[in-house]
Chain A
Amino acid sequence: MRLGNPRVARSVRSLVTVSLVGGLVSVAAAPAALAQEQDEKVTLRVALTQEIDHLNPFMAILQSSTGIGRVAFDYLTRYSAKDQEPIEGLATDWKTSDDNLTWTFQIRDNAKWSDGEKLTAEDIAYTYNLIMEDETAATANGSFVSSFEEVTAPNDTTLVIKTRTPQATMLALDIPIVPEHVWSKLDKVDDPKMDQPPIVSSGPFTITEFRPKEFVRLEANKDYWDGAPEIDGLDFVFYDNADGAVSALQNGEVDLVNRLTPAQYETLEGEDNIAVNKAQGRRFNELLMNPGAATKDGEPIGDGHPALRDVRVRQAIAKAIDPQALAERVMSGYAEPGSSVIPPVFEDYYWEPTEDQRWKFDPAQANRELDAAGYERGPDGIRQMPNGTPLEFRLLGHKGRAFDEQSASFIVEWLKKIGIKVTQEIVQDDQVNEMSSAGEFDLMFSGWGVNPDPDYILGLHRCSARPNAAGHGGTTDSFFCDQEYDRLYARQLAEQDETKRQEIVKQMQERLYEQAPMVVLDYDNALEAYRSDKFADFNVQPQPTGVIMEQNGNWGYYQAKPGDGGAEGGMPTGAWIAIGAVAIVAVAGGGIALRKRGKSVDDRE
């Protein structure tokens, strides 16, 4: 910038400086303006720390996305908030044929799509048929319809599903229902259009805006058949790290966060205007013991230690491990000691070993049993198989996962006491996945989140869940294969009497516990926190010990109520102070710059 006339030059420079300062001040003042524009609407702002892969309900896989699906869409049935029993959803009533192969659902006639069209049984039939016929549509929820023969809607309020084999899971169909009049016009199911609003749905909230990696906004559906939500809107705001989300909660930028670490939870516990929720979780951590990995056809694969094929060795290990200590010392008490693969939060299916059955922490007893089984200690104190192979196991775990990293040293110490040497192999997730599906491990940390219906988690331990000859297609968790267990699995799947099914499910857990292809180490608590100055206590599932977010339902969001204090929107006080400070600095800085500029121009003359 070189201008002939120094006077012009000076005024131009002044102008530039002033506008710079002005810009800074207005940036700082922006939130104030924004805050004033906020109206009286009550919006629940939820922090998400997980990516959203899709809003398209056929493609959405990640927990964060399916969670949003649960508030936007309706399902055939719902799980009650109280005890997670199936209750009415779009279906108001249902009955089965005598052979248990035909299910007839009565569909409500007061459900509407967000575009005003009426929701009918045809929409449900269309949704299920699409998943049955289109591979892409089966991406997220294909497993639910795998035994369906035919789905029809004889009229607007009747849905008939015929299955090839009796299914006990017919009231647990977690499939979001989509409108036929929208989807039938698409060329392909994964059309990117379906990830962007307007997304026509029928749930208690409607998705109005989606910015990938930033936020998803939903608006209350005032015409919802089960009653309008008490709040006006629901925002899911993305945070890339939990510390950011916690800080946002403290500053009042969001109202609800979950997946807290014990340390974060304890920090928030004492703060004003913030309430915490320590809930029984659906997740467990386990230590797998390779019982002899093999393919579906029984062809051995991998390089698991031969001694672990001996059930006596696995049982001895189970007795040398103290889940209580892990829950207290690794999880700081925010976990319950584990036993079976179905967490106690699902009380109908949860099985607890009797005092005689339970593997009690007793290294001396474990030592005696290994002695008796013929695993004698070598000169270095490490036990050997009768053929001289030492009991040296690798322990595979996920790098960066605190539970694995911290528990590993406990396991190493405990097993050392019973003459077993353990080497830690804490590696990247991908490598863990690759090695575990190839059966290349001895001991390994794993963990699962469990659904209200136990079918899936139990199915993971069937012989047929193991991979095919090419090493692909396996869904197995433990490489466990036991005829007795598989027989029980088939029986529970076909059992229509709920009480009887629960009984069989418990027998399966007992069998799994006794055969010990794994030791369930703990059930993690789900740690959540929310702004108690803005929202009343949330409706947890199950009551009274359950979660607000990541429910098997939408009760937490759908039945959210503004608190008594009144939702006071707008900026936290700290922000006003900062705005003031920035403005003062900007003005002062600008003034100095102006003076200096003025001088230097004069000097040059």
Chain B
Amino acid sequence: MTESSFTRRALIAGAGTAALAAPALAKLGGMIDLGLPGGPSLRPTTPAFPGKGAMIVQRIRPPLLESPMEVFREGIITPNDRMFVRWNWPFPTEVKAAEHRVAVGGAVKNAISLTLDDVAAAGEMVEVVAINQCAGNGRGLSEPRVTGTQWGNGAMGCAKWTGVRLKDVLAKAGVVEDAKRVRFAGLDVPLTDGAPQFIKSIPLEIAMRDDVLVAWGMNDEPLSILHGFPLRIVVPGWFSTYWVKMLSTIEVLTGEDESHYVAETYRFPAQPITPESKDFPTVPITAMPPRAFITSHSDGEMVALGKPLVLEGIAMGGDAALERVDLVGKGWEIPCDLGPDEGGPYAFRRWSVNLPQVAGDFADIGVRARNVNGAVQPEQLVWNPSGYARNVIERITLRAQ
């Protein structure tokens, strides 16, 4: 190789032919393997984002940060610095509190523009503990694989949200009688003219729930920019696609919402389909189904033969309280003990199970959650082309030695 060939491009090209994505990413430092079938499965935990601890970096711009599963090993609350981050479009990196306004308009009696103080004074302050989970959480584990953000199972977290009721904010403007839906927009906007803004709507009866909030607090701290400062919508039990961040507009609709992110995406097949299915009817992704995870052990871990074993983890009921969790294997199941109900129906709840003696490998074991409405995690993945609402029983294998 001549000296003149030591250009940056040549070095990249040289590296490229020998090894591509892997070394390019590996040079970033700490890597986490998400176990995505067929790969690429390794993700960096760098670069660091302000206010965040070690996170799986799924995308840098706009940020998509996933919580490593170790975050869920203790307690039911996800610390703010480990809560996942998801943005569809770029957002302002600076927001002046005194200048921010929330417009409340559409099918209302008096369209108004509210300051943050106006919003905070709209009603009594309310706290609710609720799981915030991306509709695409676990998408990367789909088989066959589907495109989109290749999340493992860490696009979820549970926090205490503080704010006022959305219905109290709506009351400031007065909702008209034939209102059907309430739509939200934030300060995040597309880079290209004409691209759809990330706006989302919920049915009026959901908007009027006592626990649906315009929130400014997350685990007793103000929302950070990455989590939607100054205000975000909180819809306990529903996927976080509706939890619009950097809230700037509340619009009351009298008809269906034909906007892109409601009418065309974030939708799920109305009936089970196969990867070959085309032109099937869809329904919006809304309420969350139950899920459970083993957090004390990871796939492939060794356990001591002949000794007792305690497995632990977290579970959620989704849009209804968790009822039970069972440890399931091939042809057997054992009920797990639920931890205290610390956060209410929309929070994580811990579970544990004591196994008196490890008699051999635990092949393909998992935990299965069921909620009080009878919804239970399925044995098989309900495959869909966008990888939404994954709640198949997650299985691991433990080796006895």
Does A associate with B in a complex? Answer: no
Q: Which residues of chain A have a CB within 8 Å of any CB of chain B? A: none
Interface set of B (CB-CB < 8 Å, partner A): none
